[in-house]
Amino acid sequence: MKRINYCLYLSIFLFIGCQSDKTTNSTITEVGEWHSIFNGKNLDSWKTMGKLTTDIKNDELHIHATDPNNNAWVFTKTAYKNFKLELEFLMADSAANSGVLFRFDPTLAGIPNQTAYEANIDWRINHQNVMGTLENAARANAIPKVDINDWQKLRIEAKYDYLQVYFNDQLICETHNGRATVGSIGLQVPINQGDDIAFRNIRVQQLPDNEALPITLEEAYRKETTPLQPLFTNQSLAGWHTTGTGTWTFEGDVLHGYSGEKPSYLISDKTYKNFYLKYNFKIKKEDNSGIFIRQHPDSTSINPVDAIECNIYDHNGFSHAYSTGSIVTHARAFSNLIEYEDWNEMEIFAKEDHIILTINGKKSAETYLPRKFNRAGNICLQAGTKVFSDNSPSDIYFKDIVIREMD
pLDDT for the residue numbered 364: 97
How far is it, in rounded angstroms, from Cα 394 to Cα 264? 10
> Running DSSP on this structure, what letter comes out for residue 40?
S
How many residues are given for the chain?
A: 407
Q: What is the C-alpha end-to-end distance of the chain, expressed in Å?
A: 41
pLDDT for the residue numbered 405: 97
pLDDT for the residue numbered 193: 58
How far is it, in rounded angstroms, from Cα 266 to Cα 404? 19
pLDDT for the residue numbered 114: 87
Compute how many other C-beta atoms are within 10 angstroms of the C-beta atom of residue 12.
20
List, for the chain, all residue ranges whose pLDDT scores fall below the cut of 70.
Answer: 1-30, 192-194
> Running DSSP on this structure, what letter comes out for residue 142?
P
pLDDT per residue as tens digits for the range 271-281: 999 999 999 99
> Running DSSP on this structure, what letter comes out for residue 200?
E
The residues with which 53 forms a beta bridge, in sequence order, are 64
Domains with residue ranges and CATH for the chain: 6-206 (2.60.120.560), 219-405 (2.60.120.560)
How far is it, in rounded angstroms, from Cα 36 to Cα 267? 54
pLDDT for the residue numbered 25: 41
pLDDT for the residue numbered 2: 37
Give the contacts of 150 (CB within 8 A, at least 6 positions apart).
90
How far is it, in rounded angstroms, from Cα 119 to Cα 110? 17
360 burial via Cβ count (<10 Å: 0-12, 13-18, 19+): middle
pLDDT per residue as tens digits for the range 305-333: 999 999 999 887 787 889 999 999 999 99
Distances in whole angstroms, Cα of residue 407 to Cα of each of 69, 225, 297, 348: 53, 13, 20, 15
